[in-house]
Structure 1
Amino acid sequence: MRKIGLIGGMSWVSTRTYYDHINKLVQARTTRLASAPMLIENLDFTDLVRLSTPEQWAHAAQVLEDSARRLEQAGATAILIGANSMHKVYDRVAGAVSVPVIHIADTVGARMQANGVKTAALIGSRNVMVESFYRKRLVEHGVTLLPPVMDNVAEIDRIIYEELMQGRATRSAERTFKTMVTTMGQAGAQAVVLGCTELDMVIDVDANVLPIYDGTRIHAEAAVDWILNA
């Protein structure tokens, strides 16, 4: 098996989810005694939260570039960025190393394209929902995205940062997202993309009114394909 590197800590909750998904998938596809060869650098998220200025994003890019280099030097043969929002600096991170950096939106877009999904809604933090860096990757796979409902953006952002990233899953958040997903279906979405690595804490990925494309799970599956050279 090939060793993979994970830039984590953004938040630590999503790092735990990646570790769990990847190891369980490796076991399912090999033997029950197997575990995934992984290198994890869990970054301190304190200075990487809710970035807004070009200077803040430049700092984040440098932090992630340095992390990717350390993982490569330690033997990682491919790298994951364990946060949707941090894919805003993907190009700089990918350019800092000689090994592949697997883009989360590309894995999701490819899966949706293979399944024939033409129209979808995207749920994530503010920058993922509103800016183009993530959305354009899905569109490149033939998926039309519904425009974000701006009245929902602030509440989604609040739940992500004030609850989920701190490890709290509330019934109120579950009800909020269930209503949103239903409304998205009524607006014409064939599926919903979870563009935040903690959203599976409050959105039922396997049983919902619309098909749910959980970026964390799909990204982890792509990582296991790499590990097993599938």
Structure 2
Amino acid sequence: MKTIGLIGGMSWESTTLYYQLINREVARRLGGLSSARLNLVSLDFQDIAQRQRAGDWAGMSAILRQAARHLKDTGAQCLLIGTNTMHKLAPEVQADAGIPLIHIADVTADAIIAQGLDTVGLMGTRFTMEEAFYVQRLRERGIRCVLPDEAQRIEIHRIIFEELCQGEISDSSRRWFSDCIADLQTRGAQGVVLGCTELPLIVRPQDSCLPTFDTTALHAMAAVDFALAA
């Protein structure tokens, strides 16, 4: 079994999901008391979030690149960045890591294509929805993204940071997401990408009128595939 390297803590709520998903899948595939070989660097999300608001992407790049080098030095054989937003820095981190980086948008694109879809709604932080790094990555695979309108993007971003990252799951926010997904459907979306690793905490398959693409689970399963490949 290969060792997975995970840069987490962004937020720790979703990092918990990664740890559970990866270990449960390894146990399911191998049986018994099997669990994953996994090295984790958990960052202080307060620092990262402040840098995001300030636009200090250079500072965040340095932090992630240092974390990636540490994971490699401690035996990791692949790298996960446990957040969609910070994949804005994935090319820089990959160049410095010295081990394969499993890109969250790539495994999401694989899942979308496998279902025969070419147009999806994209929900995530404002960085993920509004900047080019994620939308363009999917476009390169022939997938068009339908974005929530500006007011919806503001509310999604607020719920992520003020509720989900702090462990708060409210029924009213869950209903709001269901309505937002229904609106994306009227605008041509065939499925919806949960493009923030906290969103699966609140948007369950039964809450959506469209097929959902859980980027946290897809990313975690890709890591298990890598770790258990012959």
Indicate whether the TM-score tops 0.5: yes
Partner of 1:202: 202
Equivalent in the alignment of 1:79: 79
Query: 1:53 Cα deviation (Å)?
Result: 4.5
State how far apart, in whole Å, the 2-side matches of 1:57 and 1:121 are: 26
- Contact 1:205-1:214 at 8 Å conserved across structures: no
Q: Which residue number in structure 1 is paired with residue 98 of structure 2?
A: 98
Residue 142 of structure 1 aligns with an amino acid whose one-letter code is: G
The match for 2:183 is 183
CA-atom RMSD, angstroms?
1.3
Q: Which amino acid in the other structure matches residue 199 of structure 1?
A: L
Where 1:196 maps in the other structure, the secondary structure is: coil
CA offset at residue 97 of structure 1? 1.6
Deviation at 1:183, TM superposition (A): 1.2
Structure 1 residues 205-214 or 171-180, which shifts more?
205-214
* Structure 2 Cα separation of the partners of residues 206 and 112 of structure 1: 18
1:139 CA drift (Å): 1.3
- Counterpart residue type for residue 200 of structure 1: P
Q: Superposition pairs for residues 102-117 of structure 1, below 5 Å?
A: 102-117=102-117
Amino acid at match of 1:182: A
Describe the SS at the equivalent of 1:101: coil
Contact 2:147–2:184 (8 Å) recurs in 1: no
- What are the superposed Cα offsets for residues 135-192 of structure 1, whole Å, 9 maximum, x if unpaired? 1111112111114311201111100000000111111110110101111112111000
Match status 1:149 vs 2:123: no
1:66 aligned partner, one-letter code: Q
How far did 1:32 drift?
Answer: 3.4
| Identity across the alignment (%) | 43
Find the counterpart in structure 2 of residue 229 from structure 1.
229
**1:136 partner amino acid:** Q
What SS class does the counterpart of residue 158 from structure 2 fall into? helix
- Could you tell me how far apart the structure 1 residues matched to 2:134 and 2:96 are? 20
Gaps of 5+ in 1: none
CA offset digits 1:85-106 (Å, max 9, x no partner): 1111111110112110111001
Aligned to 1:137: 137
2:26–2:36 CA contact under 8 A, matched in 1 = yes
CA contact under 8 A between 1:80 and 1:101: conserved in structure 2? yes
Q: Deviations over 1:20-47 (max 9, x none)?
A: 0101111111113110110011111111
* CA distance in 2 between partners of 1:120 and 1:153 (Å): 15
Is the 8 Å Cα contact of residues 121 and 192 (structure 2) preserved in structure 1? yes
Letter in 2 for 1:224: V
Residue matched to 1:4: 4
Count of aligned pairs between the two proteins: 229
Whichever structure has more helix as a proportion of its residues is 2
Q: Structure 1 residue 208: deviation in Å?
A: 2.8
What's the CA shift for 1:9? Answer: 0.4
Kept in 2: contact 1:130–1:148 (CA 8 A): no
1:22 aligns with: 22
Q: 1:102 is paired with a residue of what secondary structure?
A: coil
Distance 1:67 1:206 in 2: 37
- The alignment partner of 1:117 has SS state of coil
| Contact 1:23/1:35 (8 A) holds in 2 | yes
Q: Alignment partner of 1:145: what SS?
A: strand
Q: Which runs of 4+ in 1 moved over 4 A?
A: none
Call closer, same or farther: CA 1:207–1:173 in 2, change over 3 Å. closer
Q: 1:192 matched to which residue of 2?
A: 192
Counterparts of residues 52-67 of structure 1 (less than 5 Å): 52-54=53-55, 56-67=56-67
Residue 170 of structure 1: aligned partner: 170
